[in-house]
A and B are shown apart, each in its own frame.
Chain A
Amino acid sequence: MDIKELVKRLHPLERKILPFLKDCDTLPELVKNSELQEAQVMKGLQFLEEKEALKIKVKESKKIVLADKAVKYKELPERRVINTLSDGGRTLREVKEKTGLSDTEVNACVGLLRRKNAIEVARDKELTIKLTNAGKTLVDKRTPEEELFSRLIKEKMAVDALDEGERLGFEELRKRGLVDVFSEKEISITLTSLGERLTKEKVDVDVIEVLTPEMMKSGAWEKKSFRAYEVKARVPEIYGGKIHPLQDTMNQIRGIFLEMGFKEMEGPLVETAFWCMDAMWIPQNHPARDVQDTFYLPYMGTIPESLTKKVREVHERGGDSGSRGYGYKWDEKIARQLLLRTHTTSTTFRYFGEKKIKPPAKYFYIGRIFRNEAIDATHLPEFHQSEGFIMDKGLTLKDLMGYIREFYQRMGVDKIKFKPTYNPYTEPSMECIGYNKQLGKWVELINSGVFRPEALEPYGINVPVIAWGLGVERLAMMLHQQKDIRNMLGAAGDLSWFRKSKVIKKW
């Protein structure tokens, strides 16, 4: 970057310390000269280091200071004892009086001086102390610890800087608890070539950092320029509230159905086996009615009397539908069993049987359904299904294909294939597979069919009804690139994934 551009972007703290970097290369110097606080100087130095204008070197060294209890001494207490003894031996009592030291202090000094062989202690009528020959030499000469002590009174010293003699003194003072050692960081700065050039630049300290209402009132902004920002610098991410990805996919599906002129249905989550199975000609011994797959509730509901007879007949002998029927005995009690609906088709049949809709009609539903399964990465005991049906005279299998192709196209899939399949209540039935460009593979999303005459018979519907449905979670997981269904539905959903999730572009 051009150096003039760099200068424009300098932070006020950088601007304040820059002039002093030519001559100062340690932190204390910079603090003193810039009249800023240490934290501010550090911040400015870090900004400059990020710009590669300088390098901050941190050296840790161990420093010695006087311990709290030593601070009151002007000299080490044993000096006073030595002075007192310089002109001859004295009793302990006299030493105490003359030195003015406490009992503890005197005893400590006596013990200390004895260790150094500087004194002799004699037991006459009283304890008497006198200097030895070695002790006498100490009268005019300071001990290493005294030397060190006198220096420490004035300033702290680095452990590394001690010479041998000072080291001995240091050990002594440390043993006596008269000194503390602490780690000190020494900060030094070396300018890079960029930094050298920067220091030579004319840097305006009086730039606007923040535009304030006061500046606006006073017009003070007119004469100054704004400090430029480093627009490439990273800023913390923010997030807002969002629609849930599953809801987003449901809204997308709803939009397509509404565009195609479908009316939305609604129906109960808890159903009778009647509406969920019997009403659409699923026989009472069908595997899908097994306890394994269905959530049965330990209660009985009520079923419409007006339809019961017709449904029984069409199950047992085909009614008037032209079918041979299943040939078993239909049990009303089984039909009254309550369960959590296993598909949204139960609602479709309520619309046939209760709302008695007449052709032409196009209806859809997006609702929750339940399967008695354990939770894992691809299974939940509940999920959502979306289905739509069209009831009108003259509808054929080709129309079913055509409407599904239209539906897929509005979802952005234009390559589709149809595969025959089997459903107990539609014939013909089809699986509709679309090519997902993103995943680069064919995905089965839609199941469809023409309702069987036996399924429509009880409701007096004598025009074709074509229908299709899809699993919403499957589609949502594909669109939102989520592999684990537990993140798509349920309390285990990862809140940080929701915050980061991307909008599906529907344009």
Chain B
Amino acid sequence: MVVLETRHSQLEKYVGKKVSVKELEEVLFNLGFELERVEGDELRIEITAERPDLLSTQGLARALRSYFGLKVKPYKIEKSGKKVIVKNPAKEWPLAVAAIVKGLKLDEKKIKEIIRIQEKLGETFLRQRKKGGLGLYPLERITFPVMFTAEDPKGIVFRPLEYGDEINGLEVLERHPTGKKYRHILEAKGRCWERFPVFRGADNVVLSMPPIINAHDVGKVDANTREVFVECTGIDLKTITLALEILVGALIDMGGKAYSIEVGYNKKNVTSPDFKEEQRKIKIEYINKILGSDFKAKDVKRLLQKMGYAVKSLKKKEIVVVVPGTRYDIWHDVDIVDDVARAYGFNNFEPRIKPVFTEGETTRSVKVKEELSGIMIGLGYQEVFTLVLSSRQDQFENMNVKQVPHLNLGRSVEQSVNMPRVWLLPELMKCLKNNRSVEYPQKIFEINQVIVPDETKDVKCKDVLKLCVVLCHSGANFTEMKQVLEYVMRCLDLKCSLKESEHGSFISGRVARVTVNNKDVAEVGEVHPKVLSNFGLEMPVVVLELDLSELFGL
């Protein structure tokens, strides 16, 4: 979800009619967006990620105009005749598109809106500028043909926007706030790129160092600016073209007239933006088949026009529509079907059920868990539910055992976890630790998965279902847990045998391995006082951990 911050008064201005908050809320809901907050004239609207064209007041206003049945002027663009030459760009940042917009009457509100659109697109659609960066400049200081190239950063010397001195490219990354924020884009494997992207005018003056920052003298737009040069640079042509079109589209709606620029690459020229519209033919039957509806061709025409499509031709069984150039999300006919449904209003469809006759069934693992839970609850044990994610500290060190083969996490935001657990007991020890003020005895159990390495699987590990039973009170002893083990075994009609074993988490001489049908399936023992200390416990603890996957071949 992306948030569009706009003003109610501004939105109404561009829509061209009054829209009450209630009406706006309803329309946005039907379109699949949300009016998140209203504070006086300020609105916060949540837009879904596939509609970057709605990240400007002007773009959203267009969509609302269509929805209300008001005419929407298609974007018009002429050739400017000006050129941008792409010469030897950085391989990491090779593409540029640009446009010119004239006849603007800018004021503080409009300038704020332009900056807001630029920033919003940069942060969201352009993925914090990693995919591209937008730049806007007063046209008067620009001499054509503009050159887009890449140079040794030490040689890129200019006064960045809102900065006192002339500094070079490297210094921008070190000293300018925007440079510091986005420096990682120009870095790979901890080092800066050899050459940084740079825009220079024909007079060789530095216009900007994309996607970081404009030059102050040529790159600052104010209320006197009538004509602007807009560019977008980055790594994917479709993406940067769309970003440019969204911004230019907003400028057009602000009263400007747009002109495309010919961008000359080594092997070809690209004239952009062109607000290219795609024509798509779609069968009415196809729409009804997916929605379960009963629309006629003229219904579909009306509904798609509501969503901003122009209708090229209409036949009884099919319709040819023109998809607006700024629609990023039309990959397949189903995307148009979705628009038909939104225009109609999802809540206007009458839900129905086509019977599908299948039988329900659950899995062996679920049945094993249910049965064993029942047995443990019958013994008065409280079920707990802990995290699969644990730490090497808790899984091994605090349990006084050496590390066994296990998976490790990559980067984790939550500092207290760094591996998926290989056994349940440490998390249950943490349960005891977190509940020291609760009355004893404390009898808890859990039946859940742990993850152990397994090279034979496509995911290099397997999930193992285990039962862990923990008894904590002032007289807790081995006998009590052996009784639990034997009771569980009798319930399952299984015979188990115990053998003395050694285990760092348990008191020597008070721990045993449990075997069933020649399979090693469990450990039972009294927890070692060192381990109790590590978990801040003073009450003795006795434990059973049983491998259900091994026992039942799950």
How long is the Cα–Cα vector from A262 to B186 in the complex, in angstroms? 51
Chain A positions within 8 Å of B331 at CB level: 318, 323-326, 454
Query: Which stretch in A143-151, A168-176, A216-224, A295-303 binds the other chain?
Result: A295-303
Task: Count B-side interface residues using an 8 Å CB cutoff.
Answer: 94
Overall SS of chain B's interface = loop
Q: Would you list which residues of chain B between 419 and 444 have a CB under 8 Å from chain A? A: 420, 427-428, 430-431, 433-435, 438-439, 442-444
Q: Is the CB of A382 within 8 A of B387?
A: yes
A382 to B414, CA, bound (A): 11
- CB closest residue in chain A, given B130: A285
Question: What residues of chain B lie closer than 8 Å to A396, measured between beta carbons?
Answer: 289-293, 354
Q: Determine if A87 is an interface residue (Cβ-Cβ < 8 Å).
A: no
A474 within 8 A of B: no
A280-304 with Cβ < 8 A to chain B: 285, 287, 291-292, 295-299, 301-304
B298 to chain A, nearest CB (A): 21
Which of A10-18, A185-193, A263-271 has 4 or more CB atoms under 8 Å from chain B?
A263-271
Residues of A within 8 A of B319 (CB): none
Q: Which of A327-383 contact B (CB under 8 A)?
A: 327-328, 338, 340, 360-362, 368, 370, 372-375, 380-382
Per-position 1/0 for A423-464, Cβ under 8 A of B: 000011110000000000000000000101110000000001
Given contacts A303-B458, A398-B351, A430-B346, contact A263 B379 (CB under 8 A): no
B416 close to A (CB within 8 Å): yes
Give the distance to chain A from B343, nearest Cβ to Cβ, in Å. 10
Number of A-B residue pairs at CB separation under 8 A: 275
B413's partner among A240, A303, A373, A392 (CB-CB below 8 A) is: A373
Q: Which residues of B contact A269 (CB under 8 A)?
A: 388, 420, 449, 451, 463
* B383 located at the interface, meaning its Cβ lies under 8 Å from any Cβ of chain A in the complex: yes
**Of A323, A360, A403, A417, which one neighbours B332 at CB under 8 angstroms?**
A323
* Residue of A270, A272, A287, A299 with most chain B CB atoms under a 10 A cut-off: A270
| Per-residue interface assignment for chain B, residues 402 to 418, with 1 indicating a CB less than 8 Å from any chain A CB and 0 otherwise | 00000111111111110
Stretch at the interface among A42-50, A117-125, A132-140, A243-251: A243-251
Minimal beta-carbon separation of A13 from chain B (angstroms): 29
CB atoms of A420 and B342 under 8 A apart: yes
Q: Is residue B365 within 8 Å, beta carbon to beta carbon, of the partner chain?
A: yes
Chain A interface size range: 35 or more
- Proximity string of chain B (353-374) to chain A, C-beta cutoff 8 Å, 1 when within and 0 when not: 1101111111101100010010
B494 to A: closest C-beta gap in Å: 22
Whether B165 sits at the interface, judged by CB under 8 Å, is: no
Closest to A340 in B: B420
Question: Are the CB atoms of A381 and B413 closer together than 8 Å?
Answer: yes
- Beta-carbon contact of A361 and B358 below 8 Å: yes
**Contact residue among A241, A244, A302 (Cβ-Cβ distance under 8 Å from B379):** A241
Whether B188 is near chain A, meaning CB under 8 Å from some CB there, is: no
B347 interface residue (CB < 8 Å to A): yes
Q: Is the Cβ of B431 less than 8 Å from the Cβ of A495? A: yes
Question: Apart from A254-B362, A292-B413, what 13 extra A-B contacts exist at CB < 8 Å?
Answer: A247-B385, A260-B360, A268-B457, A270-B460, A360-B358, A362-B356, A381-B389, A396-B354, A420-B346, A422-B51, A450-B290, A488-B385, A490-B386
Question: What are 25 pairs between A and B in contact, CB < 8 Å?
Answer: A241-B378, A254-B362, A263-B359, A263-B360, A264-B362, A265-B363, A266-B365, A269-B451, A292-B413, A304-B458, A361-B356, A370-B389, A382-B387, A398-B292, A399-B292, A401-B346, A402-B353, A422-B48, A427-B337, A428-B291, A452-B332, A491-B428, A491-B433, A495-B431, A495-B442
Residues of chain B having any CB pair with chain A under 8 Å: 29-32, 48-51, 127, 131, 236, 238, 289-293, 329, 331-335, 337-338, 341-342, 346-347, 349-354, 356-363, 365-366, 370, 373, 376-389, 407-417, 420, 427-428, 430-431, 433-435, 438-439, 442-444, 449, 451, 457-463
